Amino acid sequence: MQTGTPLEPRVVGRPPRGRAVWMGLAILVVLALAAAVVRAATRPAAPTLPAADLYTVRPASDTTTIATRGTVQAESEIQLAFPVGGTLKTVNVKVGDTVQRGQVLATLNDSAQRAALAQAEAGVGVAQSQVGAAQSQVAEAQAKLQELLAGPTPATVAAAQAQVAQAETGLQTAQRAYALAQQLYQDRTQQKAQLVAAQAAVQQALTALQTAQQNQPAEEQAAQAALAAAQKNLAQAQQNLQTYEQEYGNITLQQVEQAQQQYQQELSAFQAWQQGAYPGPNPYQVPLQADQTIANTLSAEYNNLQGAQQAYQQAQAALAQAEAQVNQVSTSTAQLEANYQAAEQQLAQAEALYNDRTPEEQAVVQAQNAVDQAEAAVKAAQAQAAAATQPATPQEIAAAKAAVSAAEAGVTTAESNVAAAQAQVQAAQVQENNTVLTAPVSGLVTQAPLHPGDTVGAGTPIFTLDVKALQVAIAVSENQVDAVRVGDPITLTVPELPGKTFTGRVFQVYPTPIPQNGGEYEVLATVHDPTGKVKPGMTGNVTIHLGATAHALMVPSTALTTVSGQTGVYVVGQPPKGAQDVPGLPPGVYFQPVVLGVQGTRFDQVLHGLRAGQTILLGEGRFFFH
């Protein structure tokens, strides 16, 4: 049995051939250009190229099925692989496990595929919103056409006249503004008042500075004398405080209060004796006098000490004030000097403003421009009002109809974009599905060499299954093989079992042709035989039921190229409006960007940009110009 891998991603483009090919191409260029000159000048013609260099765009299959032949084989082992490469995310089975058909065996990390699918689905929403916008433009264009066909109405005439009145009001406003700008240009009262005020401010600042300079020596002398007196008073207060502290020590208010409390207790006891509370001679007379003396002495000393401290603090404050006065005298003149300089600068600005007529001139020019624009608006409104009373001309109606046609074409384009976006979603879903590997048949896992985190390529065997089942080897032509996908259902009939139809599913599509078999490719599918009568070696008719890509447009991979970062093909035919300008292309050939879907080893699906029947360049033709 032939071995191979499922469809692999393809790298677009190939290097040009050698010198001999280029010389042959040069001859073809000369012939093509000569033919283009000879042909009629009314419509540019495509260059004449060999048929091998041209391809007619067509679906992968003209029907939803492929009818071919196949041979039943006995298969003991099959190898399973992902059709795309990536990093293994999960491996759900191990050697020795029995798996059932359809069971998920392993998955790849599908973050990129899921992101692509989400982006494609978002693209559908954007495209659908563009359809709505295009339909709104159609409605507007149709309404404008109907308005022109209906002719002038009282409402349209009234609206046009209202526009004229509004424009005339705007003109009157602009004319008043122009007159005011002219008046301000001629009248210099405001600028002169600013200049006079600035001159007065300079004189006032100069007078204050001169007065301060004259009075500064006397003020400095008085401030220095006050400072010396304050320093002397502070020294005397400090000396008195030190004397009291040395004489009395550190007397506290608590000591004074305790002495007063002791005296009051003795006084209370003495008064109680006087009132007869205690018999006998007076025992409190001497202690009372001693406590009174102590209390009075402590109180006097405490008051003297507090007075000395307050006098010292007041002397400190007076000294600080005298020092501040000295500093103020020395800095006041500097501040007045700064004030004078600032007044001089403001005077210079006022003089410049008085002498400079630029702002007023600019205001006059701007006002004149506004008047001109308002006059133009009045003329335009008057012209529209005059036109509103006249029926539409044939040229206006033709232009309105053309606008409707253009808007309708925009809707068609937007709807085509929706279809292309939906096709991209389908293609992205296929890529997402390719990250899940399922068992095509039931069997026993005999090999599972890889683990989560391993990197695998497209077609790298992940598992080997012992299936002990039948399969059918199917021959598919090269023009149809790119429409076949793993999982497509098949039906099989064999002459030996008339009236019986057997089913199965494709599980392998080989990317290379069958050796010595004229461009046919081998496809393998399972065979479900509940009767047990299908035998290896039987040959029968096979029908492959194609999936979503059956009618997809397919182009050879060699036709694809890249221009300015866009993937596309060279189309032979009259370039449409807005076709991209590619230097070097002859008449009758243009570059057409395309949106790709499923990509195979030889053919790629085109979701958007081409239609069936178009002729494109491939092979040597693609390198004919570049």
Task: Report the C-alpha gap between 425 and 434 in whole angstroms.
Answer: 14
> Alpha carbon 102 to chain centroid distance?
42
Contact 545, 556 (CB under 8 A): no
With cut-offs at 50, 70 and 90, classify the pLDDT of residue 600: low
Altogether, the residues listed in the chain come to a count of 626
Q: Tell me what the pLDDT averaged over the chain comes to.
A: 81
pLDDT (average), residues 328-344: 85
Q: What's the pLDDT tens digit per position in 470-501?
A: 899 999 988 788 778 888 899 999 999 999 99
Shortest CA distance to 584 belongs to which of 6, 23, 29? 29
Residue 459's contacts (CB-CB under 8 Å, 6 or more residues apart) are 4, 5, 6, 8, 81, 82, 83, 511
For residue 93, pLDDT beyond 90: yes
pLDDT at residue 233 in the model: 87
For residue 191, pLDDT beyond 80: no
pTM: 0.45
Kindly give the interhelix angle for 189-248 and 285-355, rounded to the nearest 10 degrees.
160
For residue 21, pLDDT beyond 70: no
Q: What's the pLDDT tens digit per position in 366-416?
A: 989 999 999 999 999 888 888 777 787 889 889 989 999 999 888 888 888
pLDDT at residue 42 in the model: 41
Q: Report residue 16: phi and psi, to 5°.
A: -65, 160
Higher pLDDT, 382 or 20: 382
With cut-offs at 50, 70 and 90, classify the pLDDT of residue 87: very high
Task: Report the C-alpha gap between 444 and 527 in whole angstroms.
Answer: 17
> Alpha carbon 568 to chain centroid distance?
27
Q: Which option is the CATH number for 1-60+552-626: 3.30.750.210, 1.10.3720.10, 2.40.37.10, 2.40.420.20?
A: 2.40.420.20
Fold of the domain built from segment(s) 61-109+435-549:
Elongation Factor Tu (Ef-tu); domain 3 (2.40.30)
The helix/strand/coil state of 566 is strand
Report helix, strand and coil shares of the chain as percent, to nearest 5.
55, 20, 25
> What are 151's two structure tokens?
């002719």
> What are 168's two structure tokens?
């005339």
> What are 95's two structure tokens?
């050697």
Contact 486, 506 (CB under 8 A): yes
Contact 487, 436 (CB under 8 A): no
